[in-house]
Amino acid sequence: MRNLSGMIMLCALAVFLCASAPKAQTTAPTDPAITSLSVMGIVTDNKPESRQLVVQTAAGNQVTVTLSDRTEFRRIPPGEKTKDKFIKISSTDFAVGDSVFARGRMSEDRKNLPALEFYVMSKGDIATKREREREEWTKRSIAGTISAINADTKEISLDSRTPEGPKPLVITTAADTKFRRYAPDSVRFSDARTSAFSELKVGDQLRSLGSKNADGTRFTPEEIVTGSFQTIGGVISEVNLDKKEIKINDSQSKQPVTIVVSNDSTLRRVTPEALTALAPPQPNTAAAKPTTDLQETFDRLPTLTLQELKAGESILVSSTKGADPSRVTAIALVSGVGPLLQNSQGGRAKAVSLGAMSLGGP
């Protein structure tokens, strides 16, 4: 029974497996998707004549899985986590690109597995699940900046983003609340690791899936994802298209910084209207009431490509806080922000919020 329970828990992980691009190779024994009894990953090659297939993990390691007449085949419907809800299928009801979990006895070098159990989630099912999750996070999530943390009551005070501006909100966590946290130097949600209440920090950007109370002052979370972000700004000194890198001098630290632009980075160009909305109010003037929140303002900015950026342009870049402050991976990059950089304190405060626009669920 203990083995069955462990297998079911691992099968549940397959439901959340992300079909992401392969990463650099890592040492197989340290790959959490490969154990002495199982492998979890994406089918990258299928050889029906030899009844063998190649499963590649999210970390890029590959295991050859051998099927036989003893292998039990089942499909995992989207959202299901227990074996009695899995659907029995034939030995050919899977394809390259499907997510799979295979169980058996792993070879000592962790490169071969004769499968006794083989569980599949098809690409179509994964796409359906992702779309449903996106809709959930669009309709039932809140976002903002952590302003206070109460470790005794397990409550989080949040300055939540609303069309009317930041509003205070209290999030009451529970024992079953799921926590995830963005990894340093990564902008991919699939790289976010399991976290805990104890890792939260004042100033973190937070997004949570759950439900509000009737007056909108308290929030009961199901899942919380957080990240520690920084924003830098400066004038571009060099653009390297081959390396997908930009070099600037940080306007505040006065130090050179290399900005890496990945496929997940969001690049936008600020418009005159957006500059007016983002710029801090001038002294002795009344601040206009915002008509949209920063998320909407950011989403409406025109996109741009790395090829369009030139030396001499002013940019603001938001990223996670990594180990090397002289090299960051851009989450959001906004060009044409010279007027904001002239008031670095105000410009930076705004950009921190813009940088967290990518913070979200699946």
pLDDT in tens, 340-361: 776 654 444 444 444 444 454 5
Q: Looking at per-residue confidence, does 129 or 106 come out higher?
A: 106
CA separation, residue 359 to residues 62, 129, 320 (Å): 30, 19, 10
Domain boundary among 121, 148, 183: 121
Q: What token pair was written down for 249?
A: 């001098």
* Residues 233 and 350 reside in one and the same domain: yes
Percentage of residues in the chain having pLDDT higher than 70: 78
Kindly indicate the confidence band of residue 294, based on its pLDDT and cuts at 50, 70 and 90. Answer: low
* Residues 91 and 149 reside in one and the same domain: no
**Sequence letter at residue 340:** L
* 178: in domain: yes
Separation CA 345–CA 340 (nearest Å): 9
Q: What token pair was written down for 142?
A: 């809140």
| Domain count within the chain | 3
* Residues 46 and 117 reside in one and the same domain: yes
In degrees, rounded to 5, the angle at the alpha carbon of residue 196 between the alpha carbons of residues 190 and 197 is: 130
Separation CA 327–CA 322 (nearest Å): 8
The kind and range of the H/E element at 3 are helix 2-15
DSSP 326-358: TEEE-SEEEE--HHHHHTHHHHHHHHHHHHGGG
* Residues 272 and 323 reside in one and the same domain: yes
63-72, 94-103, 124-133: the lowest-pLDDT one: 124-133
The average pLDDT across 155-172 equals 86
Q: What token pair was written down for 230?
A: 């920084």
In sequence order, what are the residues at sequence separation of 6 or more whose Cβ sits closer than 8 angstroms to the Cβ of residue 220?
A: 171, 172, 174, 210, 211, 212, 213
Separation CA 246–CA 354 (nearest Å): 19
* Residues 151 and 259 reside in one and the same domain: no
Q: What is the model's pLDDT at position 42? A: 92
Residue of 265, 100, 95, 114 lying closest to 185 (CA atoms): 265
CATH of the domain at 218: 2.40.50.320
User: What range does the domain containing 23 cover?
Assistant: 2-121
Kindly indicate the confidence band of residue 243, based on its pLDDT and cuts at 50, 70 and 90. Answer: very high
The average pLDDT across 140-159 equals 93
2-6, 47-51, 102-106: the lowest-pLDDT one: 2-6
CA separation, residue 190 to residues 19, 32, 133, 210, 360 (Å): 9, 14, 14, 20, 11
* Residues 158 and 102 reside in one and the same domain: no
* 248: in domain: yes
Q: What is the model's pLDDT at position 357? A: 46
Domain boundary among 208, 227, 246: 227
Residue of 358, 361, 360, 357 lying closest to 133 (CA atoms): 361
Domain boundary among 227, 250, 269: 227
Q: Looking at per-residue confidence, does 307 or 324 come out higher?
A: 307
* 331: in domain: yes
* Residues 48 and 71 reside in one and the same domain: yes
Q: What is the model's pLDDT at position 122? A: 80
Asked whether residue 64 carries a pLDDT value surpassing 50, the answer given is: yes
